[in-house]
Amino acid sequence: MRILIVIICLSIHRVTSQTNQNMQSLMNDIFSNYSPKVRPMVNQQDPLPLDVSFYLSSINEVNEVREKLVTTGYLSLTWTDELLRWTPSDYNNTDTIFIPQNDVWKPDLVLKNGFQKFEELGGSFYYLMVFHDGLVSWWPFDVFESRCSMDITHFPFDTQTCDIKFITWSHYVQQIDILRSSSGIQFYEYEENSVWDLVDTSSEIQKEQRESQVKFTLTLRRKPLYYVINIILPVIFLGYLNILVFVIPVDAGEKMSFSVTVFLSFAVFLTIISTLLPTSSANTPIIATYLIIQLIYGVIALIISAFQLRLHHRNKTEEIPTFWIKVVQIQRKLRCKRTQIDALDTNLNENEVQKIANTDDDSPDVICGWNHVASSIDFFAFWSFLITNVIITVTMFSVSAVS
């Protein structure tokens, strides 16, 4: 029976409660000779170890034009204040207190690569948790706007690596030594971004000369579906519409208007893409290069169409150079088709019709009409544009997707 009573007594935890007098007495004792202006080390020659962790809540914005990263989260800073220690049993087992951040010493940690503001973390309403052994924990929450150099060569299949750097601005590494974060980047009620996927995180301690800083790295991959549907596919389709100008007959009278319309569409897409990209970027996006190539194709198509119209409306009695005759002959061979000559062809006189009828297509003396020359130009231009456009499209977007 005595053994049972002893076991019950040992198993019952002592219930304690701190009163207002206990807390006031503790505050008066530990802050009687305390100053938040003095680094909390008994030996001021020793560095103060500072543990920094980053808890990410969301990625609010990745602005490629301004090269800015906006994130929401908080830092977890832990250090030991050797001047804030007490024995819990002397104050009714009080082992933890909360102190306003401005009443105790705290490290002057700031965002080094901030975008537009440079100020201390936290605020007057923040409290720090202080343990009886001097361990202090601080969790300043903020919206961090940091600079991030963007490489948009593979846009919209690009991957960006952005750094968030924190540094002790006034203290050297001999005074405050930032240690490798115990937990690195963690997540606190993280909300996924609609445009970017967070694929990797890391943390690193950097000590440059006498400075100590911690760098948190976020690796982001863009979700390309929106841009593929709204930009890339329309651009590719317009590129192939540009080739159809060589399918339209010269007599239709729509060659020039069709080609100009497609050219202006490319100009509009180039304007849209330029608003999405950094204006001072050293790297030209592959898609922008592709658009410029398509604009060049459009200009060439306009020139060829204008030249065709000029040839088509030439005087039918004007002699056709041998070069164009050979072009027509090659075109007929490639099409495996022998052109039938109609005596009623308005572009040929009776003598030319008779000469064509009596002459083999392989002969260099074959005479043809200017309409045949225009048709041959359409044939060679169509296949040249189609083959080169397919090669360029497959090559450029394959390279862009492999980022």
Specify burial of residue 344 (Cβ count, 10 A radius: 0-12, 13-18, 19+): exposed
pLDDT surpasses 90 at 139: yes
Provide the 8-state DSSP code for 116: S
One-letter amino acid for residue 246 of the chain: F
Contact 333, 377 (CB under 8 A): no
- 169 phi and psi angles, rounded to 5 deg: -70, -40
Give me the residue spans of the domains in the chain: 19-223, 226-401
Contact 105, 37 (CB under 8 A): yes
Three-state SS at 280: coil
pLDDT at 170: 84
Contact 328, 376 (CB under 8 A): yes
Q: Is the pTM here over 0.95, yes or no?
A: no
pLDDT surpasses 50 at 393: yes
Q: The tokens 């930009």 sit on which residue?
A: 231
Rounded CA-CA distance 200/220 in Å is 7
pLDDT surpasses 70 at 18: no
pLDDT at 133: 93
pLDDT at 280: 55
Rounded CA-CA distance 146/138 in Å is 21
Provide the 8-state DSSP code for 114: B
Question: Does 248 or 1 have the greater pLDDT score?
Answer: 248
Average pLDDT of every residue of the chain: 80
Rounded CA-CA distance 326/361 in Å is 10
pLDDT surpasses 70 at 318: no
pLDDT at 15: 40
pLDDT at 363: 47
Q: How confident is the model at residue 86 (pLDDT cuts 50, 70, 90)?
A: very high
Contact 367, 355 (CB under 8 A): yes
Domain 19-223's class?
Answer: mainly beta
Greatest mean pLDDT among 73-87, 323-337, 346-360 lies in: 73-87
- 192 phi and psi angles, rounded to 5 deg: -70, 140
One-letter amino acid for residue 344 of the chain: L
- 96 phi and psi angles, rounded to 5 deg: -145, 135
Which strand (E) or helix (H) includes residue 290?
Answer: helix 286-312
Rounded CA-CA distance 318/312 in Å is 12
pLDDT at 340: 47
Rounded CA-CA distance 386/391 in Å is 9
Q: What are the distances in angstroms from CA 62 to CA 35, 113, 187, 203?
A: 42, 15, 18, 20
pLDDT at 59: 95
CB atoms within 10 A of CB 376: 23
Question: Does 337 or 53 have the greater pLDDT score?
Answer: 53
Mean pLDDT over residues 243-253, rounded? 82
pLDDT surpasses 50 at 13: no
pLDDT at 343: 39
Question: Does 367 or 31 have the greater pLDDT score?
Answer: 31
Single out the residue of 269, 267, 265 nearest to residue 245, CA to CA.
Answer: 265
pLDDT at 365: 42
pLDDT at 362: 47
pLDDT at 279: 62
Tokens of 403: 């980022």
pLDDT surpasses 90 at 397: no
pLDDT surpasses 80 at 8: no
Question: Does 8 or 254 have the greater pLDDT score?
Answer: 254
Reported as a single tens digit per residue, the pLDDT across 334-389 is: 666 544 444 344 455 555 544 444 444 444 444 466 777 777 888 888 999 999 99
Whether residue 107 has a cis bond before it, omega within 30° of 0 = no
Reported as a single tens digit per residue, the pLDDT across 161-217 is: 999 999 988 888 888 988 876 667 899 889 999 999 999 998 888 887 778 889 999
Single out the residue of 241, 303, 229 nearest to residue 266, CA to CA.
Answer: 241
Mean pLDDT over residues 222-246, rounded? 88
pLDDT at 335: 67
Three-state SS at 157: coil
